[in-house]
């Protein structure tokens, strides 16, 4: 296993995802002789995990079962230990596409934070690209290095512990893309420009507040970036439910009980397998939005370093 | 299992900096894109202007050009902003009356200026000078006025290298019908949710003109393999060819006809009856010719043009079309000798296709694909129920549909089938912002919808769920896929 290469079977030292159902899951470091406690009982790594196929159902000591999944950056994002606020896959996906990342791309990132985006960037630029990530918090930088090692991607990433606004990315004229997720991105725009290749490249800055965006856009313009574009992406998740709505009693029932609600509801539900008119109700499948959703993560400002 | 396609790949991951003859390039004017092949002495019409790309050859991608008389492109010098000396401006519009007479230049005057070949920049300046209300406008309104006029009179074109970002934006704006209204942010979700990366063995089923295939190819960078499932007589890859991928990217791109999936799963697969191409190809063509919309027509032209750039993937398509033509002519003119040669050539190609088909079938039979991407005009449920059989456990899959309802059904059916977890039905909203000092707000209009996604992860299909006694016997003699079908009935 590695985060950039699928493996079929679970091996000692792997990071695997224990899936308990209903989006409840957590990562485990697979180690001989180790046990993991779940609400369904104990998982013994040596016998229950090592050598098994990823995607297998594992029966725990109390008879309950879990699935063991191959790690991906997306699963890691949902399960990683938070050291900071993190970016989620919805924002990550548009960042990756708008920065035009692909195998071989050289990317600069700051800050590293909890490494949520870093894992996705590394996945995309592997096997020939590289990520230069800068984190001014020493402990976080160290922790990120450790995780990259554990996940078998250390050869694809360089973690630097310095202040990007003062010292930049530690590289120049080599990046295809730069990503900024720091409180004052406008102070790093100049460094971003010099990190990017002479022939140009793409930049993205993530900020929660519009005032930050404003200053960043001004800085980008001053540094000659073009195609400056700010957008926001929101994820809407739907629960799939079978809904039944009662047919109102308009007094017809006593006169003609053979066609309660039939005339009114049937035409609109033709061909729907879910329609059930028994007992005066109509059933249908619906995608129901969650009661509460994420309304704002941050504004994403993209721009191009142009030739001039 | 990371298969490296060899040293030649390096050339592919670092494509040329400079615009070369034969490249696939994208023209950009403001937010409007158009994909074109770079050819000499070829007239291009873009945004109501015509020009030749000859002069662009040799310049670096990202260069901005001005169109000069005679349709030549001239690299634009960095402009010295000519700010009006008098920074005079009003505070509000209480005294500005729309009498239609504020512009002292007439249409004819403007036309005369244009005919004289005067630079757009100067025309804008003249328009400002001859506008009686300009000075009374607020500073913001003046800005807006200048921007609007610049857009109209200062025609600059930037030539950029194609990418998923650019092509998916272009298709969504110009030809949403051809890509089932798949918005670019939705495509971005698919690539991430599907964990598309170098070294994967992917199954792609799309009817999005080859845009989704191209996006997957870009993310895989020539490492790993892709099996494209196609309906009808052959895969459509018009958009794929716009990416300008290097040849090695096509070495591990396979295709397999959808109409053979059932037989492959039931073990009765044979290559005896290949899907009949000529008829189906004609159908595809008819379909695309049906569009009368001006914009659609223009992209069609793009597609046709880019087909001409010698992309390996398209060569089969082209040759097939040529075959039909050749056959037609041969039949009419009844030239026996040529006809015979054509027949022989056709047989050779049939043979070649058959061989490739057997190889692809073998790849699918391994049932160890690293993911499945579906984005088509077809109902997703039957596609998913069949194609998921080819995917290894613990791998992501993503299905796109323009409509939510088919995905609701698909969700239910997948739940019944089992072997999948973490099913998620979702949609993304995309909002663009105008960011200007003291004038920041969401853009006036946004896209109403970019389609829906159903994603999930495969797991080992639970066999203990089923009544085992009589299934044991079946397991012995039936191929595994049939087994599963029987199980489904029992469950």
pLDDT tens by residue, A197-222:
998 999 999 999 999 999 999 999 99
Return the pLDDT at B460.
Answer: 96
CB atoms within 10 A of CB B89: 16
Report the alpha-carbon distance of residue A71 to residue A169 in Å, rounded.
Answer: 29
A–B interface: beta-carbon pairs under 8 A: 189
Check: CB of residue A82 under 8 Å from CB of residue A111: no
Return the pLDDT at B83.
Answer: 52
Cα angle value A27/B394/A48 (rounded, 5°): 60
Cβ contact B428–A232 (<8 Å)? no
What radius of gyration do chain B's Cα atoms show? 28
Return the pLDDT at B79.
Answer: 56
Taking alpha carbons only, the member of A64, A61, A75 closest to residue A6 is A75
Residue A159 structure tokens: 């973690």
Cβ contact B223–A103 (<8 Å)? yes
List, in sequence order, the alpha helices (H) in chain A.
Answer: 73-79, 89-98, 116-125, 138-150, 164-167, 189-195, 210-222, 262-265
Taking alpha carbons only, the member of A46, A49, A72 closest to residue A59 is A49
Return the pLDDT at A162.
Answer: 97
H/E stretch holding A110 reads strand A106-110
Examine the predicted complex and report whether its ipTM is higher than 0.90: yes
Report the alpha-carbon distance of residue A237 to residue A216 in Å, rounded.
Answer: 31
Residues of chain B with pLDDT under 50: 1-14, 278-331, 466-491
Q: Is B195 on the interface with A (CB under 8 A)?
A: yes
* Contacts A55 to B, Cβ<8 Å: 392-395, 457-460
Q: What is the pLDDT along chain A (308 residues), one digit of tens a residue?
A: 789 999 999 999 999 999 998 889 999 999 999 999 999 999 999 999 999 999 999 999 888 899 999 999 999 999 999 999 999 999 999 999 999 999 999 999 999 999 999 999 999 999 999 999 999 999 999 999 999 999 999 999 999 999 999 999 999 999 999 999 999 999 999 999 999 999 899 999 999 999 999 999 999 999 999 999 999 999 999 999 999 999 998 886 555 545 444 444 444 444 444 444 556 899 999 999 998 888 899 999 999 998 75
Cβ contact B78–A229 (<8 Å)? no
Taking alpha carbons only, the member of B396, B385, B380 closest to residue B488 is B385
Taking alpha carbons only, the member of B123, B156, B143 closest to residue B32 is B156
Query: What distances in angstroms separate CA B112 from CA B101, B109, B129, B146, B175, one per listed residue?
Result: 19, 5, 17, 20, 36
Check: CB of residue A119 under 8 Å from CB of residue A189: no
Check: CB of residue B458 under 8 Å from CB of residue B388: yes
Q: Is A4 on the interface with B (CB under 8 A)?
A: yes
Return the pLDDT at A219.
Answer: 98
Query: What distances in angstroms separate CA B168 from CA A89, A259, B173, B183, B218, one per listed residue?
Result: 19, 51, 9, 7, 12
Residue recorded with tokens 């914009």: B295
Taking alpha carbons only, the member of A289, A283, A288 closest to residue A241 is A288
Check: CB of residue A66 under 8 Å from CB of residue A41: no
Cβ contact A127–B431 (<8 Å)? no
Residue B479 structure tokens: 């191929």
Taking alpha carbons only, the member of B366, B386, B364 closest to residue B376 is B386
Query: What distances in angstroms separate CA B398 from CA A92, A122, B202, B212, B369, one per listed residue?
Result: 17, 21, 12, 12, 13
Residue B453 structure tokens: 């996604």
Check: CB of residue B200 under 8 Å from CB of residue B224: yes
Return the pLDDT at B466.
Answer: 45
Report the alpha-carbon distance of residue B382 to residue B413 in Å, rounded.
Answer: 9
Please list the residues that pair with B87 across neighbouring strands: none
Cis peptide before A127 (omega within 30 of 0): yes
Please list the residues that pair with B205 across neighbouring strands: B229, B374
* Contacts A237 to B, Cβ<8 Å: 424-426
Cβ contact A23–B457 (<8 Å)? no
Q: Is A155 on the interface with B (CB under 8 A)?
A: no
The SS3 of residue B61 is coil
Taking alpha carbons only, the member of B12, B29, B106 closest to residue B66 is B29
- Which residues lie closer than 8 Å to A132 by C-beta, 6 or more apart? A106, A107, A108, A109, A157, A158, A160, A169, A170, A171, A175, A195
Report the alpha-carbon distance of residue B482 to residue A28 in Å, rounded.
Answer: 36
Query: What distances in angstroms separate CA A191 from CA A107, A186, B16, B407, one per listed residue?
Result: 13, 10, 26, 46
Report the alpha-carbon distance of residue B71 to residue B51 in Å, rounded.
Answer: 4
Let me know how long chain B is: 491
Cis peptide before A111 (omega within 30 of 0): yes
List, in sequence order, the alpha helices (H) in B366-437.
Answer: 380-387, 405-417
Residue recorded with tokens 């398209």: B314
Query: Residue A279 — φ and ψ, nearest 5°?
Result: 55, 30
Q: Is A124 on the interface with B (CB under 8 A)?
A: yes
* Contacts B187 to A, Cβ<8 Å: 97
Taking alpha carbons only, the member of B25, B15, B17, B22 closest to residue B158 is B25
Query: What distances in angstroms separate CA A56 from CA A19, B202, B421, B447, B484, one per listed residue?
Result: 10, 21, 12, 41, 17
The pTM of the full predicted model, rounded to 2 decimals, is 0.84
Check: CB of residue B313 under 8 Å from CB of residue B255: no
Q: At what angle do helices B294-308 and B277-289 cross, to 10 degrees?
A: 140
Q: Which candidate in B394, B442, B460 is best for mutational testing of the A interface (most A CBs within 10 A)? A: B394
């Amino acid at each position: 296993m590695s985060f950039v290469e699928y493996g079929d079977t679970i091996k000692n030292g792997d990071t695997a995802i224990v899936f308990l159902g209903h989006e409840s899951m957590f990562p485990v470091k697979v180690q001989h002789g180790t046990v993991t406690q779940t609400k369904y009982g104990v998982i013994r790594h040596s016998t229950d995990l090592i050598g098994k196929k990823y995607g297998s159902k594992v029966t725990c000591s109390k008879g309950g079962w879990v699935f063991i999944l191959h790690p991906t950056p997306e699963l890691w994002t949902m399960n990683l230990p938070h050291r900071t606020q993190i970016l989620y896959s919805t924002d990550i996906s548009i960042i990756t596409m708008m920065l035009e990342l692909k195998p071989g791309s050289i990317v600069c990132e700051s800050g590293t934070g909890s490494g949520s985006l870093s894992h996705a960037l590394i996945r995309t630029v592997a096997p020939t690209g590289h990520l230069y990530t800068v984190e001014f918090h020493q402990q976080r930088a160290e922790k990120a290095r450790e995780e990259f090692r554990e996940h078998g991607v250390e050869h694809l990433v360089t973690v630097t512990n310095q202040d990007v606004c003062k010292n930049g990315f530690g590289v120049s004229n080599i990046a295809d893309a730069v990503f900024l997720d720091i409180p004052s991105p406008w102070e790093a725009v100049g460094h971003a420009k010099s990190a990017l290749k002479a022939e140009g490249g793409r930049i993205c800055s993530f900020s929660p507040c519009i005032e930050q965006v404003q200053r960043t856009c001004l800085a980008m313009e001053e540094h000659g970036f073009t195609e400056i574009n700010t957008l926001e992406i929101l994820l809407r998740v739907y629960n799939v439910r079978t809904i039944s709505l009662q047919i109102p009693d308009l007094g017809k029932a006593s006169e003609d009980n053979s066609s309660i609600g039939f005339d009114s509801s049937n035409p609109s539900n033709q061909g729907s397998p879910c329609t059930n008119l028994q007992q005066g109700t109509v059933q249908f499948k619906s995608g129901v939005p969650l009661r509460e959703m994420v309304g704002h993560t941050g504004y994403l400002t993209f721009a191009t370093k142009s030739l001039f | 299992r990371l298969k490296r396609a060899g040293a030649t790949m390096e050339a592919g991951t670092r494509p040329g900096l400079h615009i070369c003859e034969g490249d696939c390039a994208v023209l950009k004017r403001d937010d409007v894109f158009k994909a074109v092949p770079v050819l000499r002495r070829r007239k291009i019409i873009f945004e109501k202007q015509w020009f030749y790309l000859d002069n662009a050859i040799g310049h670096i991608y990202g260069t901005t050009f001005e169109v000069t008389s005679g349709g030549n492109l001239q690299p634009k010098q960095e402009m010295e902003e000519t700010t009006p000396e008098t920074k005079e401006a009003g505070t509000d519009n209480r005294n500005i009356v729309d009498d239609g007479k504020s512009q002292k230049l007439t249409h004819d005057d403007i036309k005369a200026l244009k005919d004289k070949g005067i630079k757009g920049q100067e025309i804008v300046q003249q328009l400002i000078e001859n506008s009686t209300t300009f000075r009374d406008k607020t500073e913001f309104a003046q800005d807006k006025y200048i921007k609007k006029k610049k857009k109209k009179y200062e025609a600059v074109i930037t030539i950029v290298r194609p990418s998923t970002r650019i092509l998916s934006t272009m298709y969504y704006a110009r030809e949403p019908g051809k890509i089932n209204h798949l918005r670019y942010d939705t495509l971005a979700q698919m690539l991430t949710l599907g964990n598309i990366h170098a070294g994967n063995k992917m199954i792609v089923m799309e009817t999005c003109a080859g845009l989704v295939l191209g996006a997957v190819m870009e993310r895989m960078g020539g490492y790993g393999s892709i099996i494209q499932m196609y309906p009808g007589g052959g895969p459509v890859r018009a958009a794929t060819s716009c990416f300008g991928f290097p040849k090695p990217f096509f070495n591990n791109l396979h295709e397999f006809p959808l109409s053979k999936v059932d037989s492959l799963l039931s073990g009765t697969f044979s290559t005896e009856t290949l899907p009949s191409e000529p008829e189906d190809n004609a159908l595809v063509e008819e379909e695309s010719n049906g569009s009368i919309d001006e914009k659609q027509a223009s992209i069609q032209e793009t597609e046709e043009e880019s087909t001409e750039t010698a992309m390996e993937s398209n060569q089969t398509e082209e040759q097939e079309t040529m075959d039909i033509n050749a056959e037609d002519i041969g039949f009419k003119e009844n030239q026996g000798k040529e006809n015979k040669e054509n027949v022989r050539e056709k047989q050779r190609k049939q043979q070649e296709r058959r061989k490739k088909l057997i190889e692809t079938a073998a790849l699918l039979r391994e049932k160890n694909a690293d993911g499945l991407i579906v984005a088509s005009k077809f109902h997703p449920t039957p596609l998913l129920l069949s194609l998921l059989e080819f995917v290894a456990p613990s791998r992501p899959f993503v299905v796109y549909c323009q409509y939510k309802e088919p995905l609701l059904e698909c969700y239910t059916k997948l739940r019944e089938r089992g072997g999948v977890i973490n099913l998620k039905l979702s949609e993304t909203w995309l909002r663009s912002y105008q960011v200007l000092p003291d004038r920041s707000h969401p853009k006036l209009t946004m896209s109403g919808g970019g389609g829906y996604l159903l994603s999930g992860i495969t797991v080992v299909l639970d066999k203990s769920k089923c009544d085992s006694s009589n299934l044991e016997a079946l397991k012995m003699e039936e191929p595994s896929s049939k087994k599963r079908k029987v199980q489904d009935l029992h469950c």
